[in-house]
Each structure stands twice: as C-alpha cells, then as structure tokens.
Amino acid sequence: MTTRFGLWEKLRKLRCLDPRKDKWRGYGPEVTVGQLIYALCTGRGCLSDSEALNDDLLARQLFGVSKFADQTQVGGWLREQTEQSGAAMLQLLCKVAGFVLAQHMRG
C-alpha cells in the first residue's frame, strides 16, 4: 500500500522533514518514518522497538540500508522536527488515509 501510494518518495521530497546538514550522512526521513511506522504497527510503542528492523534482512534491502537508525538517532530526528514539518506530516497523513479509504471502497 505504501508503494502504491508512493509514500517513501513523497517523504523524501518533503525537505522540511530532513534536518541533516550533510545529506550523504545519516538516514533520510523515509527510513526514520518507516521505522516509526513499523514500531507502531507492530503494537510496540518504544523508540527502541524500531531497531528490531535490523533483524529483518528484507527490510534492510528494501530501504537500501545496511542497518537502521538506533533509538538515539530516531529520537534526535523527532526532536529536530518543527511546526512546519509537523504540519507537512499531518497533511501527508491525511492523503495516506484518503488513499487507503479509496482503495478499500473499490473493494
């Protein structure tokens, strides 16, 4: 569903979500958000739970990373977010929800 919607590409394009000064280092917002989605959708609620993706070879290959961010890096990314990036995420979330609902209504 995320691929059909183009979520990862849309996240990459939201520059306000990427506080990194050097874009060649660290993790892009699509990786961090993917980790958070995983942690929340699996019924977990801790940042450390997002690190569990490191045990999933396929997930690492799909995201193109040799390892995922640790809980300190995920927490740092969350702290760097601004009112602008929060509003952008909320807007994107509304679009995701609309897309999922439309897919469901089609059957």
**The token pair that represents 54 in the structure block:** 């490191």
How far apart are alpha carbons 88 and 90 in whole angstroms? 5
User: Domain span at residue 79?
Assistant: 2-106
As for how many domains the chain has, the answer is 1
Dihedral sign from CA coordinates of 11, 12, 16, 19: positive
pLDDT in tens, 38-73: 888 877 778 888 888 889 898 888 888 899 999 999
How far apart are alpha carbons 89 and 87 in whole angstroms? 5
**The token pair that represents 61 in the structure block:** 């290959």
Distance of CA 52 to CAs 13, 28, 71, 97, 104, Å?
26, 18, 10, 26, 30
pLDDT in tens, 14-43: 999 999 999 888 889 998 998 888 888 877
Distance of CA 70 to CAs 27, 49, 79, 95, 100, Å?
11, 9, 14, 28, 30
Give the model's pLDDT for residue 56. Answer: 87
